[in-house]
Structure 1
Amino acid sequence: MRIALPAVIDGAALACLDPAAHVTDLGGETMGTRWSVRATLPGRLEAAAVQRAVTVRLDGIVAEMSHWSPTSLLSRFNAAPAGSWATLPPDFAHVIAAGLRIAAASGGAFDPAIGRLVDLSGFGAHPVAEPPDDAALAAARATSGYRRLDWSPGDRRLRQPGGLSLDLSGIAKGFAVDAVADLLGGMGIVHALVEIGGELVGRGVRPDGQPWWVDLETPPGIDLAPLRIALHGLAVATSGDYRRGRHTLDPRTGRSADTGIVSVSVIADTALAADAWATALTVMGVAQGLALATAGGLPARIVTAEPPHEHLTPALLAMLAD
């Protein structure tokens, strides 16, 4: 068993550790998957109150960023006339700003503005019977891409250039994990593990003083030595075709990414970053993805099937315990 440890220990979290505390498990459904929280609740805080608060928080995110709901803010932006500006609420603005930064840093391997391409591929809200022909793909690409967006961060305004569709499925779930973790912190919950669909954030530690241990997923049929992460002030996300039941779309071509990668796991300070970067590295391929992750100091594992092999970035190797 290989163990990856955080570089920084939160002394304040350890100082309020209660070895006699009980771990409460909560959960529900959101974003087409399930959410779960494992936490030690302080004082008289009731589990039912936490459950309600998390549900309300997640429902609010879905109402803004869902590409499945025709009444979501995202859907309304996608249907807005060319040249119109939308003033985004803080959550949506935060996700857009982060998505645009990662899109630029990855050269478009991650792109929050490819809703047309996602729909055309059959992975959007309206499945299609056949793959698109070249003409349909070219038309969708012409109206897609983050470079077509005008973003004014000071007043949180986003311009619809005409025909562009946002799709935040590669980043919104990670943001939701962070949002729930922050919500719990605001309720006085110091020690918690939050998960939505396999993307996780760990805050504090378990009552026994151990961190929240999470094993990196290994794709089926591939034999790798287990790799366990101490999620203490960290997040982790995994991108893989085997998990999603569909191929990862390359925003730069509009077609499935054919890089030989079957799984990418990324560790970051936030699940939002881990989520988006796991997608970007999958699209970029082994050589380019490793180079960019290495240059950016990103702890990541890239797994290929033929031949079966794992590639660990220097930042992840540095986390491994001797």
Structure 2
Amino acid sequence: MPLDIDPGVLADWRQDAPVIDLGGETMGTTWRLRLAAPENFDRDAIVEAIEARLEDILAQMSHWRADSVLGRFNRAAAGTWISLPPAFAGVMTAAFAIAEVTDAAFDPAIGAIVDLWGYGPVPVAAPPSADALAGARAVSGWRKLTFDADSHRLLQPGGLRLDLSGIAKGHAVDALAALLRERGCNHFLVEIGGELVGSGMKPDGDPWWVDLETPTCDIPPFRIALHQLAVATSGDYVRGRHTIDPRSALPVEHAMAVSVVHRSAMLADAWATALCVEPPEAMRERAICENLAVRALCRAGDHGEGRIEEWISPALAALLVVP
């Protein structure tokens, strides 16, 4: 449960508000919205506005579109300054901050490495060679970037490729939440590919409840009340080797899924991405040090072959209500 209730969002709460479900496709996944509709709600106008906002984000930050701003940066010649739209610049500011504090466990500048492993736009038939990885590492890494935050410009050092897949989806969820509030919708649950923001309450007075994945009967169900909160999950406790460590350019040896509860879906997304890269003990230390609300599912054993264990950070434990 959240530690406090925002009284501002309760002013327009209505017990008789109809609950409406909307959805569509974006970013290779789906978006979904459940909201308590305000008076004079225009379903078509909201869907049109949501799809336009998502299209704008893709036109800026998609790693899969050659004509996106990100795509143009990735193809630019060494020494080229690329102007970024304000939203893109804001994402880069957050990305740099998380990269620095995590010692590059999160890194927005490893697109060349991601592409070699086949997690980018073009599938690959085999793992990359050591020489290919060495070449990609030589041109990758956030510290090679020069970012002029005041003028929203990013300098291409040569051959570097951005990949914002570990933060852009969270940004998109935040952007949709902001759009809904701009349109007078204050009571909703919005999701893109499993990353969610909840605002206000349902008409019955309950918060927007979200159940995190519980893989075995040995681990109790985990339900979160998303009232002015976001949650993002990254990693895979079944196939940990599908996660790339930016620091080694190799798949991680452990199998772990990390969920982060935060006020910002963008920051929850980036933190979840960073934490799932860390070995379990380092992940726990980082979560405690940064006072993050984290729930992790880890497969025990040196190479993630054992039983699944759950860990809850002190910050998340402080939010729990035990029945």
Give TM-score scaled by structure 1 length: 0.95
8 Å CA contact 2:61, 2:68 repeated in 1: yes
131-140 vs 236-245, which moves further? 236-245
**Aligned counterpart, 1:303:** 297
Distance in 2 between residues matched to 1:178 and 1:315, nearest whole Å: 22
* 2:253 partner amino acid: D
Q: Structure 1, unaligned stretches of length 5 or more?
A: none
Q: Determine the C-alpha separation between the residues in 2 that align with 1:119 and 1:244.
A: 19
Per the alignment, residue 312 of structure 1 pairs with 312
Give the match for residue 273 of structure 1: 267
CA RMSD of aligned residues (A): 1.5
Distance 1:127 1:246, change over 3 A: farther
User: SS state of the match for residue 231, structure 2?
Assistant: strand
Q: Does 1:249 align with 2:223?
A: no
Deviation digits for residues 146-176 of structure 1 (CA, Å, limit 9, x no counterpart): 0101111111111111000000111111100
CA distance in 2: counterparts of 1:245 and 1:108, whole angstroms: 19
Question: What are the ranges of 5 or more consecutive residues in structure 2 without an aligned counterpart?
Answer: 300-305
Match for 2:235 among 220, 234, 240? 240
Secondary structure of 1:165's counterpart equals coil
Is 2:254 the counterpart of 1:264?
no
Structure 1 runs of 4+ off > 2 angstroms? 240-246
1:56 is aligned to 2:63: no
CA distance in 2, matches of 1:223, 1:69: 43
Superposition deviation, residue 244 in structure 1: 8.9
Deviation at 1:290, TM superposition (A): 1.0
**2:92 partner amino acid:** I
Aligned match of 1:18: 14
- Quick check: 2:240–2:253 contact (8 Å CA) kept in 1? no
How far residue 307 of structure 1 moved from its aligned partner, in angstroms, is 3.3
Q: Kindly provide the CA deviation profile for residues 94-141 of structure 1, in whole angstroms up to 9, marking residues without a partner as x.
A: 111111111111110111000000000111111111111111111100
Letter in structure 1 aligned against 2:132 = A
Counterpart amino acid of 1:31?
A: M
d(CA) in 2 for partners of 1:122, 1:231? 34
Task: For 2:235 and 2:59, locate their aligned partners in 1 and report how far apart those are by CA, in whole Å.
Answer: 27
Report the AA paired with residue 254 of structure 1: A
Q: Which has the higher contact order (CA 8 A, sep 6+)?
A: 1
Identity percentage over the alignment? 53
**Alpha-carbon shift at residue 301 of structure 1 (Å):** 1.0
